[in-house]
Amino acid sequence: MTEKCFKPPFMTDIAIAIDALTKVYAGGKRALDGVTLDVPRGGIYGLLGPNGAGKSTLINILSGMVRKTSGRAAIWGFDIDEHPRNAKASIGIVPQEIVFDPFFTPFETLELVAGLYGVAKGKRRSDELLAAVGLSDKRDAYARTLSGGMKRRLLVAKALVHSPPIIVLDEPTAGVDIDLREQLWAYVRQLNREGVTVVLTTHYLEEAEQLCDRIAIINHGKLIADKPTRELVGMAREKAVVLTLGADISALPDHGSFEKVEQTGPREVTISYNKDRANAGDVLAAAAAAGLAIVDVSTREADLEDVFVQLTRAAA
Ligand code: ADP
Ligand code: MG
């Protein structure tokens, strides 16, 4: 890794620089294994990976909740070991777990956090933040009357109390219903337009694909991709058509344009093809020519699973 990322903030366009970051938990679990990546300033960066990949471990090292085993990290140019206070002041983290103090109202919670960060009374924006996350009418409610989604939104507001240039959301939509999800994303996009660098972790490619301009994939604690979203999604070469048939299948069809043919139901065949060599039309025509009585067709788009399988296969 080059030294540029650890220069003072005014000399870099990198929001978060991570260099050979490793975490081995007590008990021996290697949750992060030499991860090196740069989160550019100004974008929405997705950290993608299946459960247990190490996403939260990475985020929790940045927030100071987990102590790294080795490697370096710098937030907004501040090394987390050398300048922990500045590093912390530069980032707002919405944790995956809902940690919650039941004794304070949403307004009190934000005021308390503002106090902890040393935000002067005149500069606090608790009401503005509550409005932004749609909690104005719960301003003075008992915390225990908040739904799970409301608590999560309050956590977002909490992370923004000190107006950090970077916000990190760890699996923000786990357990959040669709309307709320849309609302949350609209707000995340707005923050980003206002100049906030956003990092989010998710195990849904679709979510990352819609929101992020850059996506990194980690698996078993290792970085296996870090690319502009369009490039990454384009890496999935394999697509599939799923054919529903009007009669039982006697023999699976074969054709040069097929990568793989599988019987996926009593009257269902899934044909995979390489999008560089064929398209859905070619595949359908070949299946029909092979005598299949096709009554319905759906296509399966490439998803994280596909990209992922390809990348892990390539890495093996
Ligand atoms: P993700 O957020 O991608 O789902 P995590 O960072 O939570 O992944 O976990 C990565 C790995 O580290 C998992 O195998 C998990 O079981 C393990 N792990 C997480 N936290 C701890 C801990 N406090 N002690 C021991 N192992 C842990
Ligand atoms: Mg996690």
28 in contact with ligand 1, CB cutoff 6 A: no
Give the separation between CA 193 and CA 211, rounded to whole angstroms.
Answer: 12
Quick one: angle between helices 106-116 and 148-159, nearest 10? Answer: 30
Residue with token string 């995979």: 272
What average pLDDT does this structure show over 247-272?
Answer: 88
For strands 222-228 and 294-300, give the pairing.
Answer: unpaired
Residue of the nearest CA to atom 17 in ligand 1?
31
Domain 238-304 CATH class label: alpha beta
Tell me: pLDDT of 256 over 90: no
Give the separation between CA 214 and CA 173, rounded to whole angstroms.
Answer: 19
Q: What is the pLDDT of residues 14-60, one digit of tens each?
A: 999 999 999 999 999 999 999 999 999 999 999 998 889 999 999 99
What average pLDDT does this structure show over 175-194?
Answer: 85
Ligand 1 center from residue 216 Cα (angstroms): 18
Ligand 1 center from residue 83 Cα (angstroms): 26
Residue of the nearest CA to atom 13 in ligand 1?
52
Q: What is the pLDDT of residues 116-163, one digit of tens each?
A: 999 999 999 999 999 988 899 999 998 888 988 888 889 999 999 999
Q: Where are the domains of the chain?
A: 238-304
Encode burial over 55-94: b for 16+ CB neighbours within 10 A, e otherwise.
Answer: bbbbbbbbbeebebeebbbbbbbbbbeebeeebbbbbbbb
Percent pLDDT > 70 in the chain is: 92
Beta bridge partners of 244: 268, 296
pLDDT, residue 97, reads 81
Beta bridge partners of 274: 238
- Are the CB atoms for 94 and 65 separated by under 8 Å? no
Ligand 1 center from residue 29 Cα (angstroms): 8
pLDDT, residue 3, reads 44
Ligand 2 center from residue 170 Cα (angstroms): 7
pLDDT, residue 259, reads 86
92 in contact with ligand 1, CB cutoff 6 A: no
32 in contact with ligand 1, CB cutoff 6 A: no
Tell me: pLDDT of 1 over 70: no
Q: Which ligand places an atom closest to the C-alpha of 35?
A: 1
Give the separation between CA 82 and CA 6, rounded to whole angstroms.
Answer: 11
51 in contact with ligand 1, CB cutoff 6 A: yes
pLDDT, residue 102, reads 78
The minimum-distance atom of ligand 1 relative to the CA of 23 is 12
Q: Which ligand places an atom closest to the C-alpha of 51?
A: 1
Q: What is the pLDDT of residues 281-301, one digit of tens each?
A: 999 999 999 888 999 999 876
Q: Which ligand places an atom closest to the C-alpha of 47?
A: 1
Ligand 2 center from residue 205 Cα (angstroms): 15
Quick one: angle between helices 178-193 and 148-159, nearest 10? Answer: 10
